[in-house]
Amino acid sequence: MNAALPTGLGPGEVWDAPLPGGPLDATVEVPGSKSLTNRFLVLAALADGPVRIRGALRSRDSALMIGALRTLGIGVDDAGDEWVVTPGPLDGGGHVDCGLAGTVMRFVPPLVLLAGARGDARAVTFDGDEGARVRPMGALLDALRALGATIDDDGRGTLPFTMTPPARTPAEVEVDASGSSQFVTALLLVAPRLEAGLTIRHVGETLPSLPHIDMTCETLRDAGVRVDQPDERTWVVHPGALALSQVRVEPDLSNAGPFMAAALVAGGSVRIPGWPARTTQPGAYYPELLARMGGTCTLDGDVMTVTGDGTIHGIEADLSPAGEITPTIAALCALADSASQLTGIGHLRGHETDRLAAIATEVERVGGQCHAGDDSLKFAGLPPAGLSPAVMETYHDHRMATFAAIIGLTVPGLQVLNVGTVAKTMPDFPLMWARMLGREG
């Protein structure tokens, strides 16, 4: 499902990726962080009184989270600029549509544990898009079973499944979060409201997206919850109330990325206002990475300015802490004047699509060279003859749409199929992109 676009384009239509008219000179206000919006919605649902959320992201992923919380009996008023969440006892029963949102399919099932604790043992069913049915879930479902839930997934370890809550839960659980940091976050978020709190131990070999786990711990601590971390794979969450009444969502720095990258490709400057002085978002890696690739990034007050002159150097980078920003960095690697290697990103095969395969296929489609390994991407850089126009696929992946738009800055005639997939986290992207390029409004 994709929302109608401000451009008037619907699903299945092709979007003509706009070219820059010259060096950029643009200020781009990016909407709120998906990760923070959906964490605050969940934490607000667990608070003792109404919570006001400012700067929240309006997008498919947050709409799905709101729908899920309403199904579980939580009031969410998202009519105005300031959303109001009215918590209440969590109900069992009902059906949750997760769409393609990792944050919904992972963060919501643990909430069902709380329905059991208050005596409602009705089952909740979970399902999502076709693409969501292949995203990793098994390790989280195993952890929820270890916490006493009954889960019927027909042995697949994926959506769809039915979850019946237990009457009470143990105070410790192990989870293999090598497939997604969201498994740890999901358990952390509900932990303070379990009777005895929860100790969570990660038992897998690798742990991607650590900043996203830090983000969860920080939002919990800001709400007065005690979270100890005796070692790098254990989190101890103490039981207690959430002291949350008003929160503000930072701009989504991952979604700022494509606009920042555009300054390197087209030359000129792009300014991102509202850049936080301190953040746990993985987009915080952009300034250093873009500087290594040939841009200049300067933070003046809360405005991040990225300046480029069309020079893009290749890069070797371990993106395991910030897998989410890989498609944007990958687009620059495809346009770079030397080879690149991105590592630590095997878990991206379980994102909205198999991103390693999708990136390699799309780079080759436009005449570049990219090899997808188990855990890495290798790029040859820009071929001497440049890249060629094509209709680029997006695989229902918002970040593959913005990836294609970045490539399109250098390739006249390049088109993008189903650009409306950006509705997942940034519905206005085509309009924002055209404005940045001075092409509209």
Of the candidates 76, 139, 154, 78, the one whose C-alpha atom is nearest the C-alpha of residue 109 is 139
Residue 60 interacting with ligand PEP (CB under 6 A):
no
By beta-carbon proximity to ligand PEP, the closer residue of 59 and 410 is: 59
Amino acid found at 404:
A
Residue 209 interacting with ligand S3P (CB under 6 A):
yes
Give me the phi and psi of 91, to 5 degrees please: -95, 150
Q: Residue 101 binds what, of ligand S3P, ligand PEP, none (CB under 5 to 8 Å, by partner type)? A: ligand PEP
Sign of CA dihedral 129, 131, 133, 139: negative
CA angle centred on 201, ends 200 and 206, rounded to 5°: 130
What are the structure tokens assigned to 237, written together?
A: 């969450």
By beta-carbon proximity to ligand S3P, the closer residue of 60 and 212 is: 212
According to DSSP, the residues that pair with 184 across neighbouring strands are: none
Of the candidates 299, 238, 296, the one whose C-alpha atom is nearest the C-alpha of residue 268 is 296
Q: Locate tokens 């909740």: which residue?
A: 124
Residue 7 interacting with ligand S3P (CB under 6 A):
no
Within 287-326, which residues bind ligand S3P (CB under 6 A)? Answer: 323-324
Residue 324 interacting with ligand PEP (CB under 6 A):
yes
CA angle centred on 356, ends 351 and 357, rounded to 5°: 105
Q: Residue 209 binds what, of ligand PEP, ligand S3P, none (CB under 5 to 8 Å, by partner type)? A: ligand S3P
Q: Which region, judged by CB under 6 A, interacts with ligand S3P, from 42-50, 165-173, 205-213, 376-384?
A: 205-213
Residue 378 marked as a ligand binder: no
Q: In this structure, how many other beta carbons lie within 10 angstroms of the beta carbon of residue 167?
A: 10
Residue 252 interacting with ligand PEP (CB under 6 A):
no
Choosing from 7, 37, 62, 103, the residue that interacts with ligand S3P (CB under 6 A) is: 103
Residue 102 interacting with ligand PEP (CB under 6 A):
yes
State the number of binding residues for ligand PEP (CB under 6 A): 8
Residue 178 interacting with ligand S3P (CB under 6 A):
no
Residue 182 marked as a ligand binder: yes
Residue 365 marked as a ligand binder: no
Residue 103 interacting with ligand PEP (CB under 6 A):
yes
Give me the phi and psi of 32, to 5 degrees please: -65, 160
Residue 353 interacting with ligand S3P (CB under 6 A):
no
Dmax over Cα atoms in the chain, in whole Å?
67
Q: Which region, judged by CB under 6 A, interacts with ligand S3P, from 154-162, 176-184, 227-235, 327-335?
A: 176-184
Which residues does the annotation mark as catalytic?
A: 324
Q: What does the buried/exposed string (b/e) look like for 271-308 if buried means 16 or more CB atoms within 10 Å of the residue's CB?
A: bbebbbeebbbbbbbbbebbeebbbebeeeeeebbbbb
Residue 92 interacting with ligand PEP (CB under 6 A):
no
Closest approach of ligand PEP to the CB of residue 102, in Å: 2
Within 355-414, which residues bind ligand S3P (CB under 6 A)? Answer: none
Q: Residue 212 binds what, of ligand PEP, ligand S3P, none (CB under 5 to 8 Å, by partner type)? A: ligand S3P
Residue 324 marked as a ligand binder: yes
Q: Residue 197 binds what, of ligand S3P, ligand PEP, none (CB under 5 to 8 Å, by partner type)? A: none
Confirm if 366 and 390 have CB atoms less than 8 A apart. Answer: yes
Choosing from 28, 30, 32, 35, the residue that interacts with ligand S3P (CB under 6 A) is: 35
Choosing from 98, 340, 399, 406, the residue that interacts with ligand PEP (CB under 6 A) is: 399
Closest approach of ligand S3P to the CB of residue 189, in Å: 10
Peptide bond into 160 cis (omega under 30): yes
Q: Which region, judged by CB under 6 A, interacts with ligand S3P, from 116-124, 152-160, 188-196, 206-214?
A: 206-214
Annotated binding site: 34-35, 39, 102, 135, 180-182, 209, 324, 351, 355, 399, 424
- Residues near ligand S3P (CB under 6 A): 35, 102-103, 180-182, 185, 208-209, 212, 323-324, 347
For binding to ligand PEP (CB under 6 A), which residues are involved?
101-103, 324, 351-352, 399, 425
